[in-house]
Amino acid sequence: MYEIKKLCPICQSEETKTEVQEIKVCNICGKDTSSSFTCSNHHTICYKCEQEKLKESIINYCLTTKLKHPLDLTLELMKLPNIPMHGPIHHFLIPAALLTAYSNQTDSINLKDSLTIAKNRSQIVPGAVCGLWGVCGSAIGVGIYYSILKEISPLSTDLWKEVGQITSNTANKIANEGGPRCCKRDGFIAINQAIKYSNQYLNTNYTLNDITCDFFINNQQCKNIKCPYFPTKNNRK
């Protein structure tokens, strides 16, 4: 099991939750922010700066790792400091893992540029879209990944249809598992769908590996044995 701990992005000491939210000044951007967390050095970081720090850590990891399987990368990225159980950071994490695996396996793309594009596209997809818009951000992340590799635009023809089908089929697979949302479960589904489509359309040879969730203790709404990735003998690919 992996217990997610909230560390101060500035000094890396463990943060603790206070009883009430207070208006403080962000130590990075200098703007006022409402915060209910504090570290031993009394640092404060606003939500926007915190998200940028998370994306920066994902990019730095992706640019240095040699891992070649999307699932391995996904699991490692999910265990980076301060990656939360849920949240819109997964909308970037999923395409980042896929692009990095593809780059390390094929050496055919500019990974830094591709990650920057994925970051810019994913950050306009807000949190909670799974319930408020009816489509999971991780499914959109798969579409971002595929559209970057295939250089798909709104004016594309056959590829426009292809990326739409890949994204919608991934979203449908996630939806069929039922709620409530779990960004880890939905991310696993998205990655496995992306693996299948990558092997079909991008000539990769990724294996479909069993997934056992290490994060369930952090999820207050965990479906337990109803989840395909809960630690039992019934894991599904």
The DSSP result for 131-168, as a single string, is HHTSS-HHHHHHHHHHHHHTT--TT-SHHHHHHHHHHH
Cα 215 to Cα 27: distance, rounded to the nearest angstrom: 30
DSSP 4: -
CA distance to 55, 146, 172, 198, 225, per residue, from 95 (Å) = 12, 8, 18, 12, 28
- Confidence bin at 133 (pLDDT 50/70/90): very high
pLDDT digit string, tens, across residues 78-124: 999 999 999 999 999 999 999 999 999 999 999 999 999 999 999 99
- How high is the pLDDT of residue 234? 52
Chain segment 22-77, per-residue pLDDT in tens:
899 999 999 999 888 888 898 999 999 999 999 999 999 999 999 999 999 999 99
- pLDDT above 80 (res 19): no
Residues whose CB falls within 8 Å of the CB of residue 233, separated by 6 or more in sequence, listed in order: none
pLDDT of amino acid 182: 98
Q: What Rg do the C-alpha atoms of the chain give, in angstroms?
A: 18
Closest CA to 141 of 199, 103, 188, 84: 188
Q: Give pLDDT tens digits for 191-224.
A: 999 999 999 999 999 999 999 999 999 999 999 9
CA dihedral 169, 162, 128, 60 (to 10 degrees): 120
- Phi and psi dihedrals of 25, rounded to 5? -100, 125
